[in-house]
Amino acid sequence: MIIMRSDATPEEVKEVVAKVEANGLKVHISEGSERVIIGAIGDGRPVVRDQFTLLPGVDRVMPISRPYKLASREFQPANTTFKLGPATFGGDQIVIIAGPCSVESRSQLIEVAEAVREAGAHVLRGGAYKPRTSPYAFQGLGQEGLELLAEARAVTGMPVVTEVMAPELVCKVADYADMLQIGARNMQNYALLTAAGEAQVPVLLKRGLSATIEEMLMAAEYILAHGNNRVALCERGIRTYETATRNTTDINAIPVLQELTHLPVLLDPSHSTGQWKYVTPIARAAIAAGADGLIVEVHPRPEEALSDGGQSLKPERFAEMVAQVRAIADALGRR
């Protein structure tokens, strides 16, 4: 919709109409008592908005279609669902992903994997390539971490999800993992999103540290537009003025995303709070708000963890969390 200024001349209106037609769009003019509004009707293909905003007499241009097409519920009303071992994302099942922040050693990983599977987790998480704020902090075991994840899958039968930080590593990580995680810091790494779109494995896309919901959906759109429709979104807290917690959990994002998109929506209460004490309450809140799953950090000895120990649950606390979440899921008619 192109909204003309109240003092726009008939010539200026004519010029805009000609420009709309030159773009192959149909014109619908509505003449109000104060101003003219020109509807430009297309088939959803993008047009360069500034070619209209910059014309004389134009007040503003308001898009009617959403900028993310493939990710929107307008395009696909039914939920996207996909399977990953015992988990089905986007259905009535609550998918639980759990494991350590970082893969640290064979014994650590197998110990956590068996404990979280026992407690009811469906998918094992663990970082091999870690996006750390400090270059001096533990960066992950890299290739060795990937091999350990594959071993943990063989031992426990659980599919694994791990973060990939660079486009050139997508093929390699996809050889070892069942699902690729794109972390908050890389949500707008468009080369990485494109490579993940070309990969033939599901993607867990985490919300950027300061990303709006629309920016997150545009990031998902990149993956979908490159041919991969197995994408799950993950709210992991956003940066606000609050310092009492590591991030601020945007619980609102769960129903908002579910209204706007057909993609499954998960919540990560570990990164969204940053402290183990708050993880279970926020996990409960997420499921109560309608989330399709959780990704939770678990470590057998959090005090020895090489990353994110403070927000990691011990296995027994994780088992309690699962039991509480199960009660909420039951109340909502979910599995």
The β-bridge relationship of strands 123-125 and 95-99 is parallel
Q: 22-81: which residues touch ligand PEP (CB under 6 A)?
A: none
The nearer residue to ligand PEP, 13 or 235, going by C-beta atoms, is 235
> From the CB of 31, what's the least distance to ligand PEP, in Å?
50
How many chain residues are in contact with ligand PEP, going by CB under 6 A? Answer: 10
> Which residue in 16, 40, 101, 253 binds ligand PEP (CB under 6 A)?
101
Applying CB under 6 A, does 299 fall inside the site for ligand PEP?
no
Radius of gyration from C-alpha coordinates of the chain: 23
E strand map for the chain: 2-4, 26-31, 36-41, 58-61, 82-84, 87-89, 95-99, 123-125, 160-163, 179-182, 203-206, 231-235, 265-267, 293-297
Q: What percent helix, strand, coil does the chain show, rounded to 5?
A: 40, 20, 40
Q: Strands 87-89, 95-99: parallel, antiparallel or unpaired by DSSP?
A: unpaired
Question: Rounded CA gap, 283 and 241, in Å?
Answer: 22
Q: Output 88 or 189, the one with its CB closest to Mn ion.
A: 189
Q: How far apart are the first and last CA of the chain?
A: 44
Q: How many residues bind Mn ion (CB under 5 A)?
A: 2
Give the residue from 295, 300, 325, 294 showing the smallest Cα distance to 314.
Answer: 300
**Environment class of 71 (CB within 10 Å of its CB; exposed 0-12, middle 13-18, buried 19+):** buried
Interface characters, 130-159, with ligand PEP (x: CB under 6 A): -x----------------------------
Q: Find the binding residues for ligand PEP in span 227-246 (CB under 6 A).
A: 236
Q: Is 308 in the site for Mn ion (CB under 5 A)?
A: yes
Residue 131 touches which member of Mn ion, ligand PEP, none, C-beta under 5-8 Å by kind: ligand PEP
- Please tell me the distance from the alpha carbon of residue 101 to that of residue 126, in angstroms, as a whole number: 5
Which does residue 221 bind out of ligand PEP, Mn ion, none, counting CB within 5 to 8 angstroms by kind? none
| Nearer Cβ to Mn ion (221/308) | 308
- Looking at residues 160 to 219 of the shown chain, list those that interact with ligand PEP (rule: CB under 6 A): 183-185, 206
Residue 80 vs 270, nearer CB to ligand PEP:
270
Residue 101 touches Mn ion, criterion: CB under 5 A: yes
**Using CB distances below 5 to 8 A depending on partner kind, what does residue 206 bind out of Mn ion, ligand PEP, none?**
ligand PEP
Query: What is the sign, positive or negative, of the torsion defined by CA atoms of 255, 319, 269, 112?
Result: negative
Closest residue to bound ligand PEP by CB:
183
CA 150 to chain centre: 24
Provide the 10 A C-beta neighbour count for residue 181: 25
Nearer to ligand PEP, 66 or 299 (CB): 299
Site for ligand PEP in 104-133 (CB under 6 A): 127, 131
Residue list 7-26, contact with ligand PEP (CB under 6 A): none
Give me the least distance between CB of 302 and ligand PEP, in Å please. 14
Neighbours of 323 (CB within 10 A): 11
Chain contacts with Mn ion (rule: CB under 5 A): 101, 308
Chain contacts with ligand PEP (rule: CB under 6 A): 101, 127, 131, 183-185, 206, 236, 268, 271
